[in-house]
Structure 1
Amino acid sequence: MSLYPDTLENMPVTDQIVVRCRKGDVRAFRELYEAYSRAMYNICLRMTGHAADAEDVLQEAFVQVFKNLEKLTSDSSLTAWIKRIVVNHCLSYLRKKKVYFEEVGEMDAAEEAVVDEGAYAFTVSAVKEAIGQLPDGYRTVLNLYIFEEYSHREIAEMLGISESTAKTQFMRAKEKVRQLVKVKTKEV
């Protein structure tokens, strides 16, 4: 995306919206928000675990997006750039809540046990419910790894924890989800 395009017609729609936002077009701000808010809200909801908190974090993140559109470079993906801002706001929110991440030693980061997943009747709703019941620290690492596709190294850097702690938190989160789903499927 050129910062000073000759014509908007030859640009992708999202680039056109960004250019119009940079020029102060209020409708473009709304279009940008509407184009990305649902997906970004889902990130916020997964990370915070609460609809009201997710809405607050989303609004704060979009304020930052709008304030910083001038910093978006032509080689940046708009979606990835917005997602990074949203994830950072979620992490800030969790830090304010003082989410606890268990520090573990290398011995705790051993290989996970093999589980016969075929024995469980995994359903989307049961898994979503189980993830929602996880402690904030487990849920955060699980969401960042599975849904946001960050590596354990990136997660460790973002959260200020060791890579082995990020891996262990993820393994424990997966195991807790399995246990919760197992209990849920036995109730059905």
Structure 2
Amino acid sequence: MTADSDAELVRRCLLGDAAAMRSLVERFQTDVYSVCVRLLRHSQDAEDVAQEVFIRVFRSLNRWDCTRQLRPWILGITINRCRTAMSKRVRRPELVDHLHETASQQPEDDSHELTAEIRTAVDEMRTDYREVFVLFHEHGQSYEEISAVIDRPVGTIKTWLHRARTEILIRLRRRGLVPSTDHPAKKQEADQSVPVTG
């Protein structure tokens, strides 16, 4: 996807081209929904927020800077809508959410247990760490792209990502799922090789 094709698609959308609007949604809906479901941890909420994202996208298209890529801009809107949804979530019983999300995720072997433990660690970390971890490891965004999405300096992105990985490693070591080491070189190597779920 090139900046030119993004700009052409947006131009057609702004002219009211229904086919272009459908094309824009189809191009980005998988990314938008998967970010929503990972951050909100509830499929119905993710669907609702994803719809809100595209409503907001179409309302704001005339403010998109055509010198920038469209995908980070849309993911930035997605992150903001997820934050809004999470801030309103205090009325929902947390236990119901937990049971809904984990009912079918019982580990069958060590690999499944490791995957489940990583997902739990990501779900429980502070919001900004979780956002950068999901965007980097699950959506393949670069530091620069994440910086554009959440409007923070690249240095901050690297720091938050490092802290997120460290939190996961600490949890996995406590659970005995990865070996603990006191050797600085080995520790640094281990810190850079956190198992990542897809």
CA spacing shift, 1:175–1:93, aligned 2, 3 Å: farther
Tell me the amino acid that sits aligned with residue 83 of structure 1: L
Paired residue for 1:12? 4
Which of 140, 144, 164 is the aligned partner of 2:127?
A: 140
CA spacing shift, 1:63–1:127, aligned 2, 3 Å: farther
Paired residue for 1:42? 34
Which of 62, 68, 71 is the aligned partner of 1:70?
A: 62
Tell me the amino acid that sits aligned with residue 19 of structure 2: R
CA spacing shift, 1:46–1:26, aligned 2, 3 Å: same
From the two aligned structures, give the one with the greater helix fraction: 2
Bigger radius of gyration among the two: 1
Q: Is the 8 A contact 1:131 1:139 kept in 2?
A: no
When the two chains are superposed, the root-mean-square deviation of aligned CA atoms in Å is 3.8
Q: Is the 8 A contact 1:122 1:181 kept in 2?
A: no
Which of 117, 125, 128 is the aligned partner of 1:130?
A: 117
Taking structure 1 as the reference length, the TM-score comes to 0.59
Paired residue for 2:171? 176
CA spacing shift, 1:147–1:132, aligned 2, 3 Å: closer
Q: CA deviation at 1:15?
A: 2.0
Q: CA deviation at 1:143?
A: 3.0
Q: CA deviation at 1:53?
A: 1.4
Higher deviation after alignment, 167-176 or 71-80? 167-176
2:73 counterpart of 1:81:
yes
1 CA distance for matches of 2:115 and 2:85?
21
1:89-131, CA deviations, whole angstroms, 9 ceiling, x for partnerless residues? 1111122225xxxxxxxxxxxxxxxxxxxxxx985x6555334
Structure 1: which 5+ runs fail to align? 1-10, 99-120, 184-188
* 1:85-104 superposed matches below 5 A: 85-98=77-90
Percent identity, please: 27
Structure 2: which 5+ runs fail to align? 91-108, 137-142, 179-198
